[in-house]
Structure formats: C-alpha cells, structure tokens
Amino acid sequence: MSDLTLDPYSQLRLLVGYLGEKNQKNWWSTAFFDATSKLFLEPIVPRTVRLAQYKGVHEAARRLHDEHVAVGGIYHLFRLPEEVEQDLQQRIIAAPEEWFAPLISPEQAMATLETLAEAPTPIESGPQSLGQYSELYCPAGTTVLARHYLSAFRQNIRSYPYFTR
C-alpha cells in the first residue's frame, strides 16, 4: 500500500476508534483516548502511551466488527492485511502526536472525518459490503469508508462496512 493510501487509513482508523468509544458514540466500551486513560498508561508504558491507546481501541473495534462481519476473506477498517497493519502501526510510532491531534474533541474528530468523507452516503444498520478487496488499495477506498462511518455516526446507527476478497 502506498503512502498516499496509508495516511488516510491511519487517520480514519484513529478517528473512528475515538468516535466509537463509550464517551462519544458508544460503539465499544473502551475509553483509551480519555485523559484518565493516558494518565493510567503513562507510568506503565511511558514511551509508548499513544501506541498503547491505538492498539487498545483497535482491538476493541476489531472485535466488534468481527462479531458482525464474517471473518475469512473479509477486510474492514480494523482488520486489514498483515503487512498493512504493520505499516499503520509504524506510522503511529513514528509521529504519534501528529496522528492524535484531531482527537481533542468529538466535534474536531467529526470535522476531520467530514473532510475525509467529502460527503455522507445513504447507509443502513448492520454489515455493509462496499466492494472488492482491491478497492482497499485505492485512495477512493478510504473515502468510501469515511463516508460510511460519517453517515453512521450522524444517524446514530451502527454499521460495519467491509470489503470482500
């Protein structure tokens, strides 16, 4: 996956991860991005607090998506090919504060998501197939995902977009 495609995936994953937490849209019951969580993690993993937050919310979101979308030949924002997962993690490690900057408030996160999405799209609750796996590697793949999550958050519904192999 090119840098052009990885950057929007990094940003989108953090935005959706943040907005899905219990204090925002309550899709999963974590609070990894709360200030208290950061204070709790700092003594344990002082040099990698942001990575711990990222991995924690990623795991919670992945589990929820996997519960609603079949596993095996299916990819979603929180379950990507292994080499992509490693590349995304390296991006977070390299510049954590840059990636976490839009997460200062739910309003700021939604505004950033709106910029990525460009426009909302009509969606329904539940799993939603967005097309073939190959679309993951196109910049348009992240735009489609961003539109989907933006619409779900605005409509206050849970929807799980995915791509098939």
> For the segment 19-65, what is each residue's pLDDT rounded down to a tens digit?
999 999 999 999 999 888 888 888 888 888 999 999 999 999 999 99
Number of domains the chain contains: 1
Band of the pLDDT at 88, cuts 50, 70, 90?
A: very high
Which residue from 157, 161, 147, 140 is spatially nearest to 113, judged by alpha carbons? 147
Distance CA 17, CA 32 (A): 9
Q: What's the whole-number mean pLDDT along residues 74-96?
A: 92
What's the pTM? 0.93
Q: What percent of the chain has pLDDT over 90?
A: 69
Indicate the average pLDDT of the chain: 91
Contact yes or no for 61/30 (Cβ under 8 A): no
Q: What's the whole-number mean pLDDT along residues 72-82?
A: 91
**148 has a pLDDT exceeding 80:** yes
Domain that holds residue 64: 3-164
Q: How many CB atoms lie within 10 A of CB 5?
A: 18
| pLDDT tens track for 38-47 | 888 888 888 8
Q: What is the pLDDT of residue 47?
A: 87
Q: What's the whole-number mean pLDDT along residues 99-111?
A: 94
Contact yes or no for 66/79 (Cβ under 8 A): yes
Q: What is the pLDDT of residue 43?
A: 85
- Residue scoring higher pLDDT (61 or 139): 61
